[in-house]
Structure 1
């Protein structure tokens, strides 16, 4: 169950597979999230996809599938009608890198996910 309060919370187990799928698409080079497998995930426009690809390239390491360690620092909170997630990302060399996925989730755990950034905060 996702909390609707002003506190920051750890990312619940029930939504982690969906974020693993999003990052899995990025790992394969699908920065527009256009794969039909990503049900409930909004595709990214060209400018946002290009920004994310450039941020990852500038970081200097390849994205990797999310490792379990990322969940120790990743968090979400309720923000005026949606949940906002900050998910630490894994790379080939780092189980938990400085790169962070910023995304919104609407309408509960199985609702629509909108990715709006990947960058180093």
Structure 2
């Protein structure tokens, strides 16, 4: 249910893709500091990044804690292999939708 919307957001960073609005998700605006850290971490990463593949979802983590989901999405390289770079998100249920607060992209 979440994969398409979260993949579209991840692709904004990793491959510069644009996407149509997803009615299921309400994405919070990423603050400038977080955006710059993410861009730097991607630029400094030794491999080029690509779109998420089905492998990403096999290794990504989603944990319910204190009224929200904490999500770590494993990003993929340009060949479709899972990297050790993750995208952190916090997701709150908000009626029939989900409010997504994007966090850092980093190597844990």
TM-score in terms of structure 2 length:
0.84
1:87 to 56, 73, 76: 73
User: Match for residue 103 of structure 1?
Assistant: 89
Choose 107-116 or 78-87, whichever is displaced more.
107-116
Q: Are residues 1:75 and 2:61 paired?
A: yes
Structure with the higher strand share, 1 or 2? 2
| Structure 2: runs of 5+ lacking an equivalent | none
| Structure 1: runs of 5+ lacking an equivalent | 1-13
User: Match for residue 11 of structure 1?
Assistant: none
- Kindly tell me the number of residue pairs found equivalent between the two proteins: 104
Q: Are residues 1:28 and 2:16 paired?
A: yes
Contact 2:52–2:80 under 8 Å retained in 1:
no
Distance (Å, rounded) in 2 between the aligned partners of 1:80 and 1:111:
15
Q: How much is the aligned-residue C-alpha RMSD, in angstroms?
A: 2.2
